[in-house]
A and B are shown apart, each in its own frame.
Chain A
């Protein structure tokens, strides 16, 4: 060991280090440009100068090259040092005035301008590149040549080198962006494309694949890593302070014994290069929708700025071409998601780039068929997104500007040409490339489009038992449908494996909790470096020193990574060693790491709520990286605040609620029946309540599906299963009178033909369904030839011939009118199934009577997914599709001897008259009136169209914000039968997450009423987003006392109530007023 005196303080260091290494390890910052941890010091930039005093003589020396000698006295901040350093900065700025690295570092030292003549060089001869190539790559493809002012870096003989391996290490380390690989190497430069950013930018060989990667850890691409390929480099290992780099890691084969498999291999996007005429791959400003998604992303190649690839300028006009790789002869299916993602991208692009950005979307049919989508489409139009009905066959580039020309055909059959700065191809969804391999490996069948084969009644099952499927592997689909299907697949497995459920779980044992009541707070503070994430900006040792000065702090130290496993052991040791009874960690965010530290504290025997976190990374070092000193001060403030609160922390206990292991399912349609059988198969009791006499709901009126299957057999089987099941208690002709209670413990009162009954249950599944709209328009009810699709289907299937439909003769002409009661002002939503239903019935009619002419008058044909191929089939069978506009709806009139339909044609700009024997109205789906009552019982919200509103439209499609209540089928929104079945299975699976537990732990940080202070003003009731607060009255000392009661199972601890309370009568545990007050006082320095 040697001893150095640095700025007046003595420090001990191991021998054999340089001065710079020693000084930096004390936390003192020394500016340097040419120093690199993995390379031998070179002393080129002269910025790391320090003043050393030895044997009474002082001198200025570059600390990176000067060895640490015992008893040396070092001054890093002396006037002489600072003055010389500033001159060095000025010299560097003069030599390379454009280098951002020099500007930045100089700026930090207060040097903004140089007094010397600017030379406009792009190299200051730091030698990083030369050393990197020689020392780490072992190649020496570049070196210094010449002397004096002619000195420069170049390959031997100033000719492109053939030994250069084009690894790019020299270029990546260069501070002035001087090094260009093309100028150095003879070999071809192949950049590594950043896969996540769709190759729009490059990436290094060691990288974190994408910001949300799970686990969020770096990986080394062995195809490019110089160390793995040539046993050189190894720089990353030297840099990683966590010592996490292990070059020896090998791919491992792991064998697992499983009872079932869920296949979710997802999809691949269509390779737009196949469509040569669209120019993708040839024109830089033609991008795929996925590339554009990355361009829009804040973590994307242009950090969220809307720029086009060719010149990185902002586009003024963007054109989206839909159905690229979808809806064509070769791939006769609709990719289901492109219309909406293009709409979303157009809206976001306008948000990012400003309203002046023009976005045109070339569509054939706008397929906004899901819940809330049509409203979104309307909004996009209001925001100025234009939809043009044409499928342009080609894109042409203007070579000079790299702008693109799209020629299209207007609805009036006139050709238009539009110039775009950027063209986005909305590429379709395809099965993954490995699909054949998957199907062979797992022994499952694929359908005609090479997606996984499923059937309408078994939508989550592959053709092989025990192998379940979810996501776009079975059909192109959006996020909510994918999530539903994934939950549905787990429901199947929950029943298949119910006997071994939980058998691999090992319960965790904790030591008994120490009682800290009455103890003086003894606080331990752990300050995290987070590698260089925090320590690169914040002076961590100074924060530790500061923490030690705070009252009640008995221990403080810093850790490289506080979240690492060894630090958890250390924290536990320190708690024991110093008898800590409060713990503060100053590191990242509680959002990701609070549970980990709470668990550590609990493992040490402390109550987990005796823990507090100070966020000095996300809210400090990351946002103040340009101002390190201020950031260090702020970190101290944050630690002080956390300590102030920690002093007042109370141990809190989580309450648990026992679960009644049965479910109430409201509705005996296909959804309710499916959920009931699923839960029964999983071993839970079910109370199935249906208001009608018969089970089956809307499906009992459906006699054939698009694919020709008859659903009645399957429905009958399902009803039989329900009736036979011992687990399912069936109540028909039954009305729900009341539901009270909450998750785990509901109590429901029902009445069956006037007879009342009551039962308890742990969860509720809402499957109340919906009904066909009863049209008021198009002379419905005034002529026997006018009927709805369901009525037509009823007639078609009873006798099986068309005679039954008219009662007279075989109808010659049939007109179907779409969007009756849908997509209008009163009901702005799409009923989703009517297009497919019309096509289904049209095909049936054509099958029965090929010479009957069928006209379908539509607004957009929304045959999403594989339904598209039936649309094709209908056209092939001679069904005529005519489009009408919302503001010029068709007119139906009765001229005595027959019906007459008039539809305005956009191309002809005149009405076409069709004489019709039958007019079929594709009536939409409307919500039941009874939904409002059920919603009130369950305290769950409805949409404005009175469908139930789930917790999150995309990510939680079967949950409510209220725990323990789930949703499926038409009660959620219009959907097809197989989609209802999937959602019903999903609801069962979600319900099972509760029912499978004996009790559930409630969060401890929730609202608590102080009865004494509460005067029952009820201000807090309305703002509660979870409807957890109720006003109660009780007798106290002879008078009525009003107060509020918190449903602890419903409360999420958001604090809305606490904020509204004028009497300090309600507060959130862990966020008491005095705790927050202490934090605020600590922040502003008051006592």
Chain B
């Protein structure tokens, strides 16, 4: 049987990423009982991971998928007799894990420091502003010619380049997440990876202190779960408050549509010609912006009011995400409106601002910020499914 080492510095490290007050906890288990997502066949949280952190079990903490499987309904925080806020603790752990997955170290800086976060956003904004000032096209003032001011194909090319860089960062981080969780190792270098795969195959899960290897085929057979959950986020439906699923789902559809429009189909979307209302370019755009504005505004108001458990605590990163999204949508609408009204200068300026925000979003929030939950949550469901299946097979084998 393997022994796990206690690293007393772990807790202090986690605490840099937000509220973590497990010391008030006497591990009564109320939180995990209250959680509707905790099941015996799969993950159990929040008590388990809180113990890991408290006891300084670094490898186990990093290998845990629990924070991603929690959708923060706040039932655990209500149930807690010691007011330790396990719900918010899971939030902190998501930041901690995001930081740990990110090899560049930027996430760690952003999530543990407000100053870094603000500086990163400003720096990216200034960089974009400079680009616009230096490279914008001719300013036509007698009519709105946005594609002359900022030719769509150029912006598109730029978009794609940045997206490629961002994707590289994200994919490498995803690999780290895989390595942490499936190999219970925080050493990710080629030698270690080769050694690990030679020893443990594609990964293992733990049963009563012993390793259970995961057969390769499970990664394939369970892949549909990744797609299903990424597309539907249906885990939300197991939470007590079901209305959050539909709101989140609509927001995601809006975001994905808009993301596709501006990154993949920009040349079709950014036109100087104003199409009639029934043209898909218009109503697809309207749908996406309406849901974006509506639901980001709802989140922002919720965070101000602090009525629900989930909105009681707000880190700067929790503000930035909906606020930037909201501003992006708002400036997008403004560009459209000014263009429609035929105000050329106002259109160009607001477009510039729109680009600045979008760029900050693309280079800060997407690869290093809260946006990553979009990937990690879906992947966590997938990895957990693979692990659970492996355990099922193992138990069945053990049983026979």
State the Cβ distance, A891 to closest chain B Cβ, in Å: 11
Residue of A nearest to B51 (CB): A907
**Could you pull out 13 A-B pairs where Cβ atoms are within 8 angstroms?**
A277-B79, A327-B26, A329-B82, A391-B29, A408-B29, A875-B23, A876-B23, A880-B8, A907-B51, A908-B209, A910-B209, A911-B4, A912-B4
Q: Which of B52-60, B118-126, B144-152, B177-185 contacts its partner?
A: B52-60
Residue-wise interface mask of A (385-401) relative to B, using a CB-CB cutoff of 8 A (1 in contact, 0 not): 00001111110000000
Does B29 lie within 8 Å of A910, measured CB to CB? no
Does B11 lie within 8 Å of A878, measured CB to CB? yes
Q: Restricting to B1-31, which residues have a CB under 8 Å from any CB of A?
A: 1-6, 8, 11, 23-30
Query: Is B200 interfacial (CB-CB < 8 Å)?
Result: no
Query: Is A882 interfacial (CB-CB < 8 Å)?
Result: yes
Residue-wise interface mask of A (320-351) relative to B, using a CB-CB cutoff of 8 A (1 in contact, 0 not): 00010001110000000000000000000000
Query: Is A409 interfacial (CB-CB < 8 Å)?
Result: yes
A413 CA to B48 CA, complexed, in Å: 7
Query: Is B83 interfacial (CB-CB < 8 Å)?
Result: yes
A902 CA to B33 CA, complexed, in Å: 29
Interface residues of A (CB under 8 A from B): 277, 323, 327-329, 364-365, 389-394, 407-409, 413-415, 812-813, 853, 855, 861, 871-872, 875-883, 902, 905, 907-915
Contacts of A407 in B (CB 8 A): 33
Contacts of A813 in B (CB 8 A): 8
Does B24 lie within 8 Å of A409, measured CB to CB? no
Does A876 lie within 8 Å of B3, measured CB to CB? no
Given known contacts A415-B32, A907-B48, A912-B57, A391 and B3 CB-to-CB distance under 8 angstroms: no
Residue-wise interface mask of B (292-316) relative to A, using a CB-CB cutoff of 8 A (1 in contact, 0 not): 0000000000000000000000000
**Closest A-B pairs by Cβ, 4 of them:** A409-B29, A391-B28, A910-B209, A853-B8
Does A409 lie within 8 Å of B23, measured CB to CB? no
A415 CA to B83 CA, complexed, in Å: 21
State the Cβ distance, B398 to closest chain A Cβ, in Å: 15
Does B30 lie within 8 Å of A393, measured CB to CB? yes
A914 CA to B2 CA, complexed, in Å: 14
Size category of the binding interface on chain B: 35 or more
Q: Which of B6, B8, B26, B47 has the most CB of A within 10 A?
A: B6
Given known contacts A408-B33, A415-B33, A875 and B26 CB-to-CB distance under 8 angstroms: yes
Query: Is B232 interfacial (CB-CB < 8 Å)?
Result: no
State the Cβ distance, B205 to closest chain A Cβ, in Å: 13
State the Cβ distance, B12 to closest chain A Cβ, in Å: 9
State the Cβ distance, A393 to closest chain B Cβ, in Å: 4
Contacts of B3 in A (CB 8 A): 902, 910-913
Query: Is B222 interfacial (CB-CB < 8 Å)?
Result: no
Contacts of A327 in B (CB 8 A): 26, 81
Residue of A nearest to B40 (CB): A414
Contacts of B56 in A (CB 8 A): 880
Does B1 lie within 8 Å of A911, measured CB to CB? yes
The majority secondary structure among interface residues of chain A is mixed
Does A880 lie within 8 Å of B209, measured CB to CB? no
Q: Which of A391, A413, A914 contacts B30 (CB 8 A)?
A: A391
Does B83 lie within 8 Å of A329, measured CB to CB? yes
Q: Restricting to B44-76, which residues have a CB under 8 Å from any CB of A?
A: 44, 47-48, 51, 54-57, 60
State the Cβ distance, B210 to closest chain A Cβ, in Å: 9
Query: Is B284 interfacial (CB-CB < 8 Å)?
Result: no
Residue of A nearest to B6 (CB): A914
Query: Is B129 interfacial (CB-CB < 8 Å)?
Result: no
Query: Is B243 interfacial (CB-CB < 8 Å)?
Result: no
A853 CA to B11 CA, complexed, in Å: 11
State the Cβ distance, A1011 to closest chain B Cβ, in Å: 69
Residue of B nearest to A328 (CB): B81
Residue of A nearest to B30 (CB): A393
Given known contacts A878-B11, A882-B55, A910-B209, A390 and B29 CB-to-CB distance under 8 angstroms: yes
Does A910 lie within 8 Å of B4, measured CB to CB? yes
Interface residues of B (CB under 8 A from A): 1-6, 8, 11, 23-30, 32-34, 38-40, 44, 47-48, 51, 54-57, 60, 79, 81-83, 208-209
Given known contacts A329-B81, A415-B38, A409 and B6 CB-to-CB distance under 8 angstroms: no
Does A875 lie within 8 Å of B24, measured CB to CB? yes
State the Cβ distance, B91 to closest chain A Cβ, in Å: 20
Contacts of A414 in B (CB 8 A): 40, 44
Does A328 lie within 8 Å of B33, measured CB to CB? no
Residue of B nearest to A408 (CB): B33
Does A409 lie within 8 Å of B40, measured CB to CB? no
State the Cβ distance, B399 to closest chain A Cβ, in Å: 17
State the Cβ distance, B45 to closest chain A Cβ, in Å: 9
Q: Which of A364, A902, A914, A915 contacts B28 (CB 8 A)?
A: A364
Instruction: Identify 14 new A-B residue pairs, CB closer than 8 A, beyond the known A855-B6, A861-B26, A880-B54.
Output: A329-B24, A364-B27, A391-B28, A413-B32, A415-B33, A875-B23, A878-B11, A880-B56, A882-B55, A905-B51, A907-B47, A908-B4, A911-B4, A914-B5
Does A877 lie within 8 Å of B28, measured CB to CB? no
Given known contacts A390-B29, A880-B54, A911-B1, A409 and B81 CB-to-CB distance under 8 angstroms: no
Given known contacts A408-B29, A907-B51, A393 and B79 CB-to-CB distance under 8 angstroms: yes
Q: Which of B1, B23, B60 contacts A878 (CB 8 A)?
A: B23
Contacts of A408 in B (CB 8 A): 29, 33
Contacts of B24 in A (CB 8 A): 329, 872, 875-876
A323 CA to B26 CA, complexed, in Å: 13
Contacts of B47 in A (CB 8 A): 409, 413, 907
Contacts of A855 in B (CB 8 A): 6
Given known contacts A880-B54, A905-B55, A911-B3, A364 and B26 CB-to-CB distance under 8 angstroms: yes
Q: Which of B23, B55, B57, B81 contacts A391 (CB 8 A)?
A: B81
Does A413 lie within 8 Å of B44, measured CB to CB? yes
Does B6 lie within 8 Å of A912, measured CB to CB? yes
State the Cβ distance, A413 to closest chain B Cβ, in Å: 4
Contacts of B29 in A (CB 8 A): 389-391, 408-409
Given known contacts A413-B48, A875-B24, A392 and B81 CB-to-CB distance under 8 angstroms: no
A364 CA to B27 CA, complexed, in Å: 8
A881 CA to B55 CA, complexed, in Å: 8
Contacts of B8 in A (CB 8 A): 812-813, 853, 880
Residue of B nearest to A322 (CB): B28
Does A910 lie within 8 Å of B39, measured CB to CB? no
Does A415 lie within 8 Å of B40, measured CB to CB? yes
Q: Which of B4, B26, B48 has the most CB of A within 10 A?
A: B26
Residue of B nearest to A813 (CB): B8
Residue of A nearest to B1 (CB): A910
State the Cβ distance, B86 to closest chain A Cβ, in Å: 12
Does B33 lie within 8 Å of A409, measured CB to CB? yes
State the Cβ distance, B54 to closest chain A Cβ, in Å: 6
State the Cβ distance, B74 to closest chain A Cβ, in Å: 13
State the Cβ distance, B241 to closest chain A Cβ, in Å: 17
Does B28 lie within 8 Å of A390, measured CB to CB? yes
Does B25 lie within 8 Å of A909, measured CB to CB? no
Contacts of A912 in B (CB 8 A): 3-6, 55, 57
State the Cβ distance, B2 to closest chain A Cβ, in Å: 6
Contacts of A391 in B (CB 8 A): 28-30, 81
A905 CA to B4 CA, complexed, in Å: 10
Contacts of B28 in A (CB 8 A): 364, 390-391
Residue of A nearest to B48 (CB): A413
A875 CA to B8 CA, complexed, in Å: 14
State the Cβ distance, A1047 to closest chain B Cβ, in Å: 54
Does A392 lie within 8 Å of B30, measured CB to CB? yes
A812 CA to B26 CA, complexed, in Å: 23
Residue of A nearest to B207 (CB): A909
Given known contacts A364-B26, A875-B26, A910-B2, A394 and B34 CB-to-CB distance under 8 angstroms: yes
Contacts of A328 in B (CB 8 A): 81-82
Contacts of A879 in B (CB 8 A): 23
State the Cβ distance, B328 to closest chain A Cβ, in Å: 41
A813 CA to B7 CA, complexed, in Å: 10
A879 CA to B22 CA, complexed, in Å: 11
Q: Which of A277, A414, A882, A908 has the most CB of B within 10 A?
A: A908
Given known contacts A391-B81, A878-B11, A913 and B6 CB-to-CB distance under 8 angstroms: yes
